[in-house]
Structure 1
C-alpha cells in the first residue's frame, strides 16, 4: 500500500512538473507564480523583524563590550587600589623624613630614624639617604659608602623632580626583588642635594595584589608608563600578555591579546592618579563573553533560520493547499474536455472552501455544457439527417436524369453528337456517385479521398469507349464536401480527354492522390503519349474546375507516356 501511494505521489509530481514546464505553465517572470509570489511577499514582510533582531544582536554585542570594558576597568582599579596606597604611603614617609634635620644632614640619629621608619612599614626592606653623587650617606640596613651612581634607577631618579619609582630590581641586602621609590632632595637654591630612597618589597606587593585580585577573577598587573611590569598576581602570564602591547594606547578601550597556548584574552587599561603608572586587568575572552556570544549568535542565526523555515513552510503549504487542488481541477477539466460531463469531483469535499466553490462552479459549468451539448447533438443529428436525405434525393434525381439521358441518347444518330451526349450522361452520373458517397459517409461534412477516387475510377473505366484500365493508389485523406464535387468533375474531364487519344491500343491509367508540402496532389499517369498538353483550349472545363478548387493543372511527358498533375489547397479560400 505504501509503495502504491509513493508511486501515486511521484506521478502527481511528474504531472505537476509537466504542467509547469509547458509554455502555458512556465512563469513569465519572478512573481508569475503563486509559490514564488508568496515567498517574496512573506520575505518582505519578515525582513524588518529579521533586521531588527540582527540590529539588536549588534547593539547587544556593543553593550556587552562596553560592560566588559567597564568590568575589567573596575577590576583593574580595585586590584591596584591597595598598590597605590602602598606607594603613596612610601612617598609620604619619605616626605616626612626629608623634614627631619638629622636625616637630612646625615647626623648621628639618621640610622636609628631610618631603621625605625623601615620597621614601621611592613612593605619596606630598607630606607637610605643618598648624596648627590649617589653615595649612601645613611641607611637602615645597607652599609654606608655604597656607590649606586651607575645604577639605572639612580640615573633616572637624579633627573626627576618628584617621587619616582624604578622597575623591579634585585636588592643586594635582601637578595629579593624590590622596587626603589626615590624622592629627590633640593636645597634652598634649587640645587640637587641627594635623595631619600625606600626599597619596597616586590614579593609583598605581588601577594597583596593576589589577595585583592585573585587569579580566578583575572590577571592584574601594575606597569610603568614604559611598559615595565612592577606588580602582578600572575607575573609569568601577565608578562606574556602585556609585554608586546603599548598599553597607553588601550586606555579607555577594550584590547585583546593571546597567551602561549593561543587562548584569547580581553583586557582594559587605566591610569593611576599619581606616579605615571598603568594598571591592566585581563580575563579570558570566552569567559568574559560566554553568554554574549551565544545571544549574539542567536540574534543572527534565528532570523536566518526563520527565513529558511518560512520558505520551506510556504513551499510545502502551497504544494499541499494550493497546487494539489489546482492539479486535481486540471484533471477534472481534462475529463470534462473528453465529454464525460457526468463525472463528479468527489475529492473536492476535502479541499479548502475557496477550491470547493471553484469545483462546484466547474461542475455546474459541466452540467450546463452537457445540457447544451445534448441540444447541439440533437440539432446536429437532425441537420445531418436532413443533409443525408438531401444527398439521397439528389442522387435519386440524378439517377433518373441519367436513365432519361440513356433512353433518349440511343436515338441520337450523329457520332459526334452521340459522344457528347454520352459525356454529358457521364458527368451527371459522376454527380450522382458523389452524392451517393456523401449520403453514405459517416460524417456529413467530409468524404474519404480513396473511396471517392475508386468509385469514380470504376465508373469511368466502364463508361469510356476505349479499352482503359484505371488503377487507384491514393492516400486516405479527408476531403471537405465543397471539394468533392469539383474534384470529381475535374477527374472525369481529365480521364475523358485522356481516354479520347488517337492510339487504339489499350490504355493504362494510374491515379494517385496524396498530400505534399501542405497541398493536395492528384497525379494521373497514362501509358500513351499525348499529342498536346491539357491547356485551356483542350480542357476548358477541367481548368474551370481547377480554378474552383484554387489549384492548377500541369502536363508533362514521361519515359512511359504522359503525366497530368493537379495541385490544390486542402481548403478553398473564399474571397
Structure 2
C-alpha cells in the first residue's frame, strides 16, 4: 500500500464491533452480566424482604393480641369451669347463690359482665345481677351447644340481657353421676376489655384488630375501620383457616398486611397493619439500588472505554497511520511515542522488520530487473543484428539469381526478416521488452517497406498511416508486424501493375478491449494478386490474424481491404515478476 491510498471504508456494524475497542467493550459488557445479575438478584431479595416486613409486623401484633385476649378468655374458662366443678350452686338457696355470684363479679367488674346458673333446660336459677328466676334462655346459642357436648362452650358475640353491653359468653356444664347434666354455669366477658391498647409491642404504628366468630361475623376492636379489612374473598379464606399471613389491597385501596389466628374453635382473631410506607420505602430502595448498579456499570464501562482508547486503540491507530504513510523502498521508522501495550510494540517492531525485509527484497528485485533489462537489450540487439545479416544475405543471394520469380521470393523473405529486425530494434531502443508502442514502429516499418519495394514520390504509390499510439505485447507485436508486412508487400507488388499509382492506407484504432486493424488500397483488387495463384500471402495473413486472437476479413471488389479485429492481451504483473525472478 502506498501513502496515497486510503483504507476501505467499513460498513457501520463492522465499524462498531470490528475494532479492538468495540470488541473489548463487548467482552467487558458480557463480563458485567453476572455482576449485574447478582446485584440485581440481591436488590430484588432485599425488596422482597422489605415487603415481607409488613406481614411479620402484623404477626407480632397478632401474637401480642392473642396472648392478651387469649389469656382473658382462658381466665373466663377457668372461672366458669371452676364454679361448675364445685357443684354446690344448685344445692344452696337461690339468694345465697345470687350473693356468691355477685361477690365473684365484684372482684373484677371491669372484666366480667355477670355470672349466672341455669338448669338443664336453660332456665335461670340464680344470677350475679338482679334477674327474674325461671326465665328461659334456651334460645341462646350456647345452651343447646352445652346440652349436646357436656363441655365448655363459648357463645356468639351478643348484647348482654342484663348489662346491655357487648359481651362474649362462656358456659360450662354442671355434671352429676354418670355425666348427667344437672345444670349450667355461665359467665360473660366484656368485649370492651379487649379494646385496650396493646402496649409494649415491638411494632409501632396504627393497626386494627377484629374478632371473627363461627358465623363469620366481624367485631372490630377500638378504632378498627371496616375499610382496613381484606377483600371478601380473602376474608372468607381467613375464616376457613386457623392461622395465616398475607398482604394486599384493603377495601379502601391501601396496602395492608394481615395476620389471623384461631383463639378457640369457631373464634378467630385478625390483625391488620397498613404497610404503604413500608412498600413505598421498599420500592424506593429497589430503585435506588438499581440506579446505583446502573451508575456503577456505566462508570466501569466508561473507564474501560477510556482505558482501551488510551492504552490500545490510540497506539494501534498511530501504527496504522504510519503503515498507511509508508512507501515501498523506504524504512518504517519506529514510533518515538510508542507507549501502548507490549503486543502493540511487538507488532510495531515486527512491521518495521517486515518493511526492512520488503525493502531489501525490492532492491534485490530491482537489481534483478536491471540485469534482465540489460540482458534483454543485449539479446534484442544481437537478434536485430543477426536478422539484418540474414536480410543482407538474402538480398545478396537474390542479386545472384537470374529468375525473376526466385528473386521475388527472396525479396519477400528479406522483407519479413527485415520487419522482425525492425521490431527487435524498437524493443531495445525504447527499453520496453514486453510491450511496444505501435505508431513509431508502424511509421518506420511502412517507410522501410516503401524503400524496399519502390514506394515513394516517383513510384506514384503512397502509404498513409492513421494509428493510435497504443502498446501491445511483444508476442502480438511480432504477429502484427508480419501481418502488416505481408499485406503492404502484397499490395505494393500486385495491386498497382504496369506502373499504376495509388494509395495504401493503414489504420489502427482501439475499441474497448479490442483493436481494429484495417489495411486497404485503391488498386486493382484481388484479381491482380499473386499471378502464380498459390495464395500463400493470404494464408499467412489469415494465420497471423488467428495468432493475434482474431480473424481476417478480406474484400477485393474495389481495391483490397483487409480488416482484423483482435483483443489486447494484458500480461499480468505476476507473470512479469515470475519472469524476472
Residue 502 (structure 1) shift: 4.7
Q: Deviations over 1:34-58 (max 9, x none)?
A: 5676567656766665565566567
Matched residues in 1 for 2:475 and 2:405: separation?
A: 33
2:115 counterpart SS class: strand
Structure 1 position 487 matched with structure 2 position 473: no
Q: Deviations over 1:242-280 (max 9, x none)?
A: 7542226665654123223423223333344x5554334
1:442 to 1:54, Cα distance in 2 relative to 1, 3 A: same
Residue number in structure 1 paired with 2:256: 265
Contact kept, 8 Å, 1:163 with 1:275, in 2: the verdict is: no
Matched residues in 1 for 2:167 and 2:202: separation?
A: 21
Q: Deviations over 1:13-46 (max 9, x none)?
A: xx88824779xx899xx9x975676567656766
2:253 counterpart SS class: coil
Structure 1 position 85 matched with structure 2 position 75: no
Q: Deviations over 1:94-134 (max 9, x none)?
A: 22333252457671222222222222222122233334444
Contact kept, 8 Å, 1:123 with 1:200, in 2: the verdict is: yes
1:317 to 1:572, Cα distance in 2 relative to 1, 3 A: closer
Structure 1 position 349 matched with structure 2 position 349: no
Residue number in structure 2 paired with 1:381: 370
Residue number in structure 1 paired with 2:579: none
Matched residues in 1 for 2:213 and 2:65: separation?
A: 16
Residue number in structure 1 paired with 2:507: 511
Matched residues in 2 for 1:235 and 1:441: separation?
A: 116
Structure 1 position 241 matched with structure 2 position 230: yes
Residue 510 (structure 1) shift: 5.0
Q: Deviations over 1:433-480 (max 9, x none)?
A: 323432343544322345545554565567665735544344x55423
Structure 1 position 204 matched with structure 2 position 197: no
Matched residues in 2 for 1:65 and 1:191: separation?
A: 55
Residue number in structure 2 paired with 1:10: none
Structure 1 position 181 matched with structure 2 position 182: no
1:303 to 1:20, Cα distance in 2 relative to 1, 3 A: same
Structure 1 position 123 matched with structure 2 position 121: no
1:162 counterpart SS class: coil
1:409 to 1:105, Cα distance in 2 relative to 1, 3 A: farther
2:569 counterpart SS class: coil
Q: Work out which of the residue numbers 252, 255, 260 in structure 1 matches 2:246.
A: 255
2:151 counterpart SS class: coil
Contact kept, 8 Å, 2:377 with 2:431, in 1: the verdict is: no
Contact kept, 8 Å, 2:228 with 2:256, in 1: the verdict is: no
CA root-mean-square deviation: 4.8
Matched residues in 2 for 1:295 and 1:35: separation?
A: 35
Contact kept, 8 Å, 1:543 with 1:552, in 2: the verdict is: no
1:348 to 1:215, Cα distance in 2 relative to 1, 3 A: closer
Matched residues in 1 for 2:92 and 2:517: separation?
A: 149
Q: Work out which of the residue numbers 318, 323, 327 in structure 2 matches 1:333.
A: 323
Given the two structures, how large is their TM-score scaled by the length of structure 1?
0.75
Structure 1: runs of 5 or more not aligned: 1-14
Q: Work out which of the residue numbers 551, 554, 565 in structure 2 matches 1:553.
A: 551
Matched residues in 2 for 1:527 and 1:237: separation?
A: 124
Give matches, 1:72-471, under 5 Å: 72-98=58-84, 99=86, 101-102=88-89, 107-121=94-108, 122-141=110-129, 143-144=131-132, 146-152=135-141, 159-209=148-198, 216=205, 218-224=207-213, 227-230=216-219, 232=221, 234-237=223-226, 240-241=229-230, 244-245=234-235, 246-247=237-238, 254-272=245-263, 274-275=264-265, 277-285=267-275, 287=277, 317-336=307-326, 338-339=327-328, 341-342=330-331, 344=333, 346=335, 348-388=337-377, 390-391=379-380, 395=384, 415-441=404-430, 443-449=432-438, 451-453=440-442, 455-456=444-445, 465=455, 467=461, 469-471=463-465
1:241 counterpart SS class: coil
Matched residues in 2 for 1:469 and 1:322: separation?
A: 71
2:65 counterpart SS class: helix
Matched residues in 2 for 1:545 and 1:247: separation?
A: 111
User: Which moves more between the two structures, 434-443 or 447-456?
Assistant: 447-456
1:479 counterpart SS class: strand
Given the two structures, how large is their TM-score scaled by the length of structure 2?
0.74
Matched residues in 2 for 1:572 and 1:238: separation?
A: 98
User: Which moves more between the two structures, 127-136 or 408-417?
Assistant: 408-417
Matched residues in 1 for 2:447 and 2:144: separation?
A: 142
Which structure would you say has the larger RCO, counting Cα contacts within 8 Å and 6 or more residues apart?
2
Residue 397 (structure 1) shift: 6.4
Structure 2: runs of 5 or more not aligned: 1-5, 576-581
Residue 175 (structure 1) shift: 4.0
1:113 to 1:341, Cα distance in 2 relative to 1, 3 A: same
Matched residues in 1 for 2:337 and 2:492: separation?
A: 70
1:147 to 1:458, Cα distance in 2 relative to 1, 3 A: farther
1:362 counterpart SS class: helix
Residue 184 (structure 1) shift: 3.9
1:212 to 1:359, Cα distance in 2 relative to 1, 3 A: closer
User: Which moves more between the two structures, 41-50 or 110-119?
Assistant: 41-50
Residue 545 (structure 1) shift: 4.1
